[in-house]
């Protein structure tokens, strides 16, 4: 969840500015606090600040530090509140460390370290790692030996990067179920993702799970989980990563909404599903979290209708705790944007231990952890998504799932080719949706309604609104309103209905009439033909006509824009909504 960067300078330059620029690319992973530590003349110097990265930047202007080797961190709090004292890097005399993950046995380690006289000053689990390393250094062990001993005793998930004052040109690095890569260029670097070091390095090497490494200004030595020295392949950094700024746009989220037609085109172009992949499959299981889960819910309708294969969709974070039974000939499909979500990784691990099922992965990040455990692998071609609220990755996921569902239906595959153009037409509704956002901006609650494949989209629309505007929103199957949620309706609660002209149109119109009998703030997303049958009291967003099966992709866009504009009207930072982070690497 947290963002990590480390740089070993090959020259005498100050690495602070480079660390800060890299942290700017990692802030989507957490922005409760940020910090940086460097070695200068045999001493560790540190600055930390609560809140977003600009607070740390301001502090460094007034109280600068300088060093040739350093580490940085942007935090999503797990153990300990987001205070400056709990911000990383954590220091124990000669050791500074940054950490992404959770140390599950930190209480036992803390007890032992306190008995040995080490004093704890933070509420973080990470502090046990700092003091443990310091204790080993105090006993005469080298940084490499101390680090290996830490990894043998620590339990949980981690990406660690540590520096040592007596070894000013060395970083010790380790990864277990938390992303970390090493970069090679003018400087040797380590980062949570390739994007974070793309402006510094031209090649990267990926850690295997359990790896650790010693990075010096002149070399990198890799060790595997058995502490044996190994080599790891270096690959060139993708050119896409060097051009992922906001450009002319005010926010990453807006840029990524606008990029959806191109992301969908590239996803269609670079992915072709061979129908033979489904030979012998008697059941499909989809595992996902958050927005990806909603994509999986849509796909369930498609798979059962067009492939005639029974399909279940499971929340990955809950899946293994049911001790579920996986039937023979089940195809497991994992949908994930980052490819590093710990819940999805652990769900796959459960599948591997309890079945012989093949695992098909749909991910957006190449060479991510989950990509390396897939039997079949498809990439959405959305490019880097920085905004915490997923937009283009979601519609690219739907596009790829549609390609899989319709792999035996040539007409639908041809219709899929028209979707990017329809997305471009939909984006022309920008100003109209901006005006409608005024009807929602003062609300405390909102309801989204849909039927069929548009019920999951109602859930996604509600999620988008709540996560970036902080308005409590819920999505419901429209037919379920009369079974309880209708009690919430009054004139103050906006109701967003997703209602294109399809086989469920008349039933959804009936649900809208039920809502209008109890409230007067109803917004309907429909098409030109559908708009002619809607009650005059409704506010309408009229979308292009689209084949019924592709409505979830097209109708996603106005829901994203609506959430975006409402959030702006409420003065919320849409790219960095409070308490959230992009890649959830802790349970």
The Cα-based distances of 391 to 93, 214, 278, 564, 576 in angstroms read 44, 38, 29, 11, 14
3-state secondary structure 206-255: ECCCCCEEEEECCCEEEECCCCCEECCCEEECCHHHHCCCCCCCCCHHHH
Q: What is the mean pLDDT of residues 518-542?
A: 92
Does 584 score more than 70 pLDDT?
Answer: no
Residue % of the chain over a pLDDT of 90: 79
pLDDT of residue 358: 96
Out of 59, 110, 320, 582, pick the active-site residue.
Answer: 582
- The C-alpha R_g of the chain, in whole angstroms, comes to 25
What is the SS3 assignment for 458? Answer: helix
Question: Domain ends where: 368, 395, 417?
Answer: 417
CATH number for the domain harbouring residue 360:
3.40.50.10490
- What is the per-residue pLDDT across 281-322, written as a single tens digit (0 to 9) for each? 999 999 999 999 999 999 999 999 999 999 999 999 999 998
Same domain, 74 and 59: yes
Same domain, 103 and 15: yes
Same domain, 215 and 132: yes
- Determine the Cα–Cα distance for residues 198 and 208; give it in Å rounded to an integer: 20
For residue 323, give its domain range: 248-417
Tokens 């140390």, located at residue: 103
Does 240 score more than 70 pLDDT?
Answer: no
Same domain, 217 and 309: no
- Determine the Cα–Cα distance for residues 250 and 111; give it in Å rounded to an integer: 49
- Determine the Cα–Cα distance for residues 238 and 374; give it in Å rounded to an integer: 21
- Determine the Cα–Cα distance for residues 71 and 163; give it in Å rounded to an integer: 8
The domain total for the chain is 3
Q: Does a structural domain hold residue 586?
A: no
Q: Does a structural domain hold residue 585?
A: no
Instruction: Tell me what the pLDDT averaged over the chain comes to.
Output: 93
Crossing angle of the two packed helices 127-138 and 106-115, in degrees rounded to 10: 40
Confidence band, pLDDT 50/70/90 cuts, at residue 243? low
Same domain, 147 and 211: yes
- What is the per-residue pLDDT across 164-219, written as a single tens digit (0 to 9) for each? 999 989 999 999 988 899 999 888 999 998 888 988 899 999 998 899 999 998 89
Residue 582 known to be catalytic:
yes
Cis peptide bond prior to 89, omega within 30° of 0: yes
- Determine the Cα–Cα distance for residues 345 and 396; give it in Å rounded to an integer: 21
Same domain, 560 and 436: yes
Out of 2, 201, 289, 423, pick the active-site residue.
Answer: 2
- What is the per-residue pLDDT across 335-363, written as a single tens digit (0 to 9) for each? 999 888 888 999 999 999 999 999 999 99
Question: Domain ends where: 224, 242, 260?
Answer: 242
Q: Does a structural domain hold residue 369?
A: yes
pLDDT of residue 239: 67
Q: pTM of the full predicted structure?
A: 0.88
Same domain, 405 and 517: no
Same domain, 449 and 503: yes
Residue 2 known to be catalytic:
yes
Question: Domain ends where: 417, 444, 477?
Answer: 417
pLDDT of residue 371: 87
């Amino acid at each position: 969840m947290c963002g990590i960067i480390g740089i070993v300078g090959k020259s005498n330059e100050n690495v602070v500015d480079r660390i800060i620029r890299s942290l700017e690319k990692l802030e989507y992973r957490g922005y409760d606090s940020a910090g940086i530590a460097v070695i200068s003349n045999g001493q560790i110097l540190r600055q930390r600040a609560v809140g977003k990265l600009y607070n740390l930047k301001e502090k460094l202007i007034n109280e600068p530090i300088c060093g040739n080797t350093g580490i940085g961190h942007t935090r999503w709090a797990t153990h300990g509140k987001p205070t400056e004292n709990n911000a990383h890097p954590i220091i124990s005399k000669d050791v500074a460390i940054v950490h992404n993950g959770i140390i599950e046995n930190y209480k036992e380690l803390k007890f032992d370290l306190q008995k040995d006289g080490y004093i704890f000053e933070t509420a973080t689990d990470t502090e046990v790692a700092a003091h443990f390393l310091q204790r080993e250094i105090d006993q005469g062990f080298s940084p490499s030996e101390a680090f290996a001993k830490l990894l043998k005793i620590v339990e949980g998930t981690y990406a660690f990067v540590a520096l040592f004052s007596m070894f000013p040109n060395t970083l010790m690095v380790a990864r277990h179920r938390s992303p970390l890569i090493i970069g090679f260029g003018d400087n040797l670097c380590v980062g949570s993702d390739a994007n974070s070091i793309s402006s510094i390095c031209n090649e990267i090497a990926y850690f295997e799970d359990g790896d650790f490494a010693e990075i010096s200004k002149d070399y990198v030595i890799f060790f595997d989980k058995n502490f044996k020295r190994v080599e790891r392949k270096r690959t060139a950094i993708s050119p896409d990563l060097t051009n992922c700024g906001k450009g002319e746009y005010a926010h990453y989220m807006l840029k990524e909404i606008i990029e959806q037609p191109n992301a969908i085109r590239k996803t269609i172009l670079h992915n072709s599903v061979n129908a033979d992949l489904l030979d012998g499959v008697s059941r499909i299981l989809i595992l996902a979290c958050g927005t990806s889960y909603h994509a999986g819910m849509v796909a369930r309708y498609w798979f059962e209708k067009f492939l005639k294969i029974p399909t279940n969709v499971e929340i990955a974070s809950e899946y293994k705790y049911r001790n579920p039974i996986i039937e023979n000939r089940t195809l497991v499909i994992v949908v994930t944007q980052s490819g590093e979500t710990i819940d999805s990784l652990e769900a796959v691990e459960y599948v591997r231990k309890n079945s012989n099922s093949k695992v098909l992965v749909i991910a957006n990040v190449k060479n991510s952890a989950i990509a390396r455990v897939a039997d079949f692998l498809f990439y959405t071609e959305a490019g880097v998504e920085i905004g915490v609220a997923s937009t283009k990755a979601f519609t690219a996921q739907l596009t790829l799932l549609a390609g899989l569902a319709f792999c035996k239906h040539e007409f639908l595959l041809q219709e899929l080719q028209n979707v990017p153009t329809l997305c471009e037409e939909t984006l022309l509704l920008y100003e109209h949706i901006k005006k409608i956002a005024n009807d929602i901006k003062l609300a405390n609650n909102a309801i989204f309604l849909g039927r069929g494949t548009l019920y999951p989209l109602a859930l996604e629309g509600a999620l988008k609104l709540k996560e970036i505007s902080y308005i409590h929103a819920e999505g419901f199957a429209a037919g379920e309103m009369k079974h309880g949620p209708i009690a919430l309706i009054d004139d103050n609660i906006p109701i967003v209905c997703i209602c294109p002209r399809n086989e469920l149109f008349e039933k959804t119109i009936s649900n809208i009439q039920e809502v209008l009998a109890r409230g007067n703030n109803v917004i309907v997303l429909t098409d030109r033909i559908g708009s002619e049958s809607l009650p005059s009291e409704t506010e309408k967003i009229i979308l292009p006509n689209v084949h019924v099966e592709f409505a979830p992709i097209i109708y996603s866009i106005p829901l994203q824009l609506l959430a975006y504009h409402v959030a702006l009207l409420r003065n919320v930072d849409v790219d960095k909504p409070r308490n959230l982070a992009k890649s959830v690497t802790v349970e």
